[in-house]
Every structure is written in C-alpha cells, then in structure tokens.
Amino acid sequence: MDGDGKQDLALRTLQGLRIYKNVNQSTNHFIQIEAQDRNGQTVEGSLVTVTVGDKTRIARLTRDGSFNSQVAPRVHFGLGQEIAPVTCTVRWPNGMESRFANLAVDQRYRVQPGLRTAVRVDRPKWVESLPTFGSAGRGISGRALTPRGTPRTLIKEDRVTVINLWAPWCEPCKDEMPHLDALSKSESSWLDVVGLGVEPNKGQAYADYFKENQLTYPLLMADKQLLETIFPDGKSRLPTTLVYNREGRLVRRYSGSLSKVQLDAIVAPLKNFDTSAEDYVWKSEMAEQEGDQFAAYLALKDAVKKAPKSVSILVQAAYSADRVGAQQDAVELVERAVKARPKSILGWRATARLLSKYGGAAAAQARVEKAPNTLAILILKSELAGAIKNEGLALELARQAQKIEPDSPAVKRRIRWLTDPEARKLDLRNIGDSKSLFE
C-alpha cells in the first residue's frame, strides 16, 4: 500500500475492515517505475529494463493481473543489497526507446516518452496515528471540543459510539440528523451518538443549528489534529459516520447520508457485542506493532480464554509468552495445543522449538516421541533424531513416513539428506538438522 516493497494486507471480515501494515525490517533495496504518456495515462506494454551494478532486470508494464483483478500501474524491481545508481531503459510500444540514468534506489519514478529525465514520485505515507480511536494507548481525549472550547472525550468505555461529522451548510447532513437523534433516544442504554462539527472556530453557529432543530444528542467540535487523523488526505467528505464497538475499535465507516433503516441495521449487531478471540488476536497484533510485547501477550491470553482449543491461538500465545520471558506459560500453552489436537503438526512443531530452546534437542525429542505417527510428525521426529545426532533413528523414522506416503517430496528430501552426502554439500539441508528450527 505504501510502496516500500513490503506487502501490506487489507482484510474485510464480518467484524469490519482491517489494515495490516508490514513492519518487518529489511536491508534490501528496490526501485519502482511508472511509464505514462503526456496525458498521464499508463503506457501498457512498455518493456522496462533496470541495470544496477552488473545485474539487469526486465519487466513488462501491464494492468492485467489474475482473473477479475488489476495490478498497480507500475513495475517494481527488487534490487537486493545493490545501492549503486540505477539505469532504466524503456522500450515503448511504438518501438522508441528512452534511457534514464543515475536513479536512486528505494524510490518511485515516473518516465515519459521524449523526456530525458525521470521524475521522482512521492509514495503514499501512513498517517502518524491510524484511526483506531479508543483502543489501548490511542485515546483521543482532549482532541474534541465543546462549542465553547472545552476538551471532551469522544468515546466512553463499554459503549457503542456513533460519530457523525457534519456542517450546517451540508444538505445531506441535514437529512440524516433526525434519524441520528431518534437513534440516540431509543438506544440510549448502550449507545452514544455524537455530532462532530468540522469548523472548530464556528462552534456557536453549530450550537445554534442544534438548538433550532431540537437535536438532543451531544455536539462536539473536531480540532485540526483530529480532522487530519480522520481525513489524512485533507479532503473532508460530509457527512461521514464512524461507528465504534464497545472495545473502542472502529468497525464501520460511511461517507454519505444514511437512512433510519441503514442506521438501525448498522448498530443492531453491536448491541450485544462480545469480544471474540479474533478481536483479542487483533489487539495483540496492534500491540506488537507498537513494540509492546507484554500487552500483546496479555491480549493473547484473553484470546485463549475465548478459544481454549484453538491450536493456532494457543501456539501464537506460546510464542508470545516466550518473547516476554514467561517460559512456564509457553510450555503449558504448547502442551494444551497438542492435547487439543494430538495430530496437529502446528502444536508439535511449536513444542519442539520451545523445548529445544529451554532444555535442548534431547528434551524436545523425548516429548515429541510420544506424538501420534502422522506423516508430518514422523518427519519432525526424524529431524529431532538428527538434531541429537542419532542418524540411524532419523532414517528409520523417515522410512516410516515413506510407507505412509511414498511420493511425498518432503519425505524424499529428508531421506536424501540422510543418505546422500552430496545433498548436504549442495545445501539441500533439512532445517531440522540445524539450529534454525529451534531458535
């Protein structure tokens, strides 16, 4: 999404839209090229060649992706560790060729036929604070004001909140405000409606409109910082309605006027909202991104309470416990995982990694030895036997796995590793015989 060469993810579920920013650190470099004509249209079919050092990479610019999809109007080249200036050559569909030299790595450039200079283009940037108001560490108390300028908190704990951004001159806003007022009265036991004005220096005019139209729900004014958070591109779209669940998490966002039927349908599922295991996993991921490992672990412990037999959540919680130094909790969690689903390789592999870290490969091998003999688990057992230098047992276990599925590539690779010295020289290594599986 931000064009940094690392793939981000947008996921829409029944719980709403979630954006996952890829924060993994990388020392590799890249360059992006946009090829456009003088009217700003993408020149599809352009053949783009980039050269850096002694390496050349080629890609054709196309907007066609897989079935029923489109790709971004640019080509992306991974450059590895290369940092030297990049030379870009573009062969246009009409046969003409343009060359652009001395381009910097980690940048996006726009090129046009007939021009000798590539134009550097700014990539999208994440806003400093993504609009997940009210969640731990991201409260916006003091960023909304009464018409007289007194700071007020927008979102209250354990309440569903509907925030409607509006202005007196916005005609579509006026259409939905009576419905918002009715909703505020009928659902006042669990829901708050807040009218949020977008001109903090005109608070009295907004208050007068509320009074003239007998609107009874609270009126607050958004300051500049809050408006920039809600509308990071600087373009206010009115009316805009934001809906937050009892956890204070943004779950719905709408631009345009909403009818009474639409408003009722939007908030009804949130009335008896119960935080799900998935919600706690999401909270953990957000805490991880902020660098708060302990908060992430606590959120995963809550997720385990909601889904006590979910192997994936138990394993995720175990790794999180390990990161905060809760060794005993980590061991207990993987034990629960393998008991919940004895044939799941996910639980047993986590057991092998953590026990190897805490007590060595022999301790891990002794525990995993008791696991059921599925194909994947037999391979894991063979890896652990190799880790304790018992290659005879490792081969025997690999042969047992071969009886279950003779054509399994994983089994063939494992047996070759154990029987062919040349395979090891070629680094066809099985990760189980190195420390990396258990680190």
pLDDT, tens digit, 9 for 90 and up, residues 402-431:
999 999 988 988 898 888 877 665 544 443
State the pLDDT at residue 436: 38
HSE of 253, CA atoms in CB hemisphere, 13 A:
12
- Architecture per CATH, domain 30-121, reads as Sandwich (2.60)
183-189 own/partner pairs: CB under 8 Å, 24+ apart: 183/260, 183/263, 183/264, 183/267, 184/216, 184/217, 185/216, 187/267, 187/271
Q: Are 42 and 36 in contact (CB under 8 A)?
A: yes
CA 191, 194, 198: angle at the middle one, nearest 5? 160
Question: Does the pLDDT at position 66 exceed 60?
Answer: no
Q: Identify the weakest region by mean pLDDT among 123-127, 154-158, 177-181, 212-216.
A: 123-127
Model confidence at 432, in pLDDT bands (50, 70, 90)? very low
Q: Are 86 and 53 in contact (CB under 8 A)?
A: no
Where in the sequence of the chain do the CATH 1.25.40.10 domains occur? 277-432
DSSP 107-128: EEEEE-TT-SSPEEEPPP---S
Residue 3 tokens read as 């064009």
Give dist(CA 208, CA 427) in Å, integer.
76
Model confidence at 128, in pLDDT bands (50, 70, 90)? low
Average pLDDT over every residue of 2-7:
69
Question: Does the pLDDT at position 390 exceed 50?
Answer: yes
Question: Does the pLDDT at position 165 exceed 90?
Answer: yes
Where in the sequence of the chain do the CATH 3.40.30.10 domains occur? 144-268
CATH number for the domain whose boundaries are 144-268 = 3.40.30.10
| Higher pLDDT, residue 433 or 74 | 74
Mean pLDDT of the chain: 85
Where in the sequence of the chain do the CATH 2.60.40 domains occur? 30-121
| Higher pLDDT, residue 70 or 114 | 114
- Helix 345-359 × helix 361-368 angle, to 10°: 150
**Residue 260: CB atoms within 10 Å:** 13
Question: Does the pLDDT at position 274 exceed 50?
Answer: yes
Residue type (1 letter), 330: A
Question: Does the pLDDT at position 313 exceed 80?
Answer: yes
Give dist(CA 237, CA 219) in Å, integer.
18
Give dist(CA 264, CA 249) in Å, integer.
19
CATH number for 277-432 (one of 1.10.3720.10, 1.10.357.10, 1.25.40.10, 3.40.710.10): it is: 1.25.40.10
Please tell me the chain's helix, strand, coil percentages from 3-state DSSP, rounded to the nearest 5. Answer: 40, 20, 40
Give dist(CA 143, CA 356) in Å, integer.
50
HSE of 152, CA atoms in CB hemisphere, 13 A:
18
Phi, psi (degrees; rounded to nearest 5) at 125 = -120, 145
Question: Does the pLDDT at position 365 exceed 80?
Answer: yes
Residue 125 tokens read as 């940037």
State the pLDDT at residue 73: 83
State the pLDDT at residue 51: 94
Give dist(CA 422, CA 237) in Å, integer.
65
Most confident of 12-26, 50-64, 378-392, 414-428: 378-392
Beta bridge partners of 97: 91
Most confident of 31-40, 142-151, 339-348: 339-348
Strands 107-111 and 29-35: parallel
Residue 394 tokens read as 């490792």
Burial of 38 (0-12, 13-18, 19+ CB in 10 A): exposed
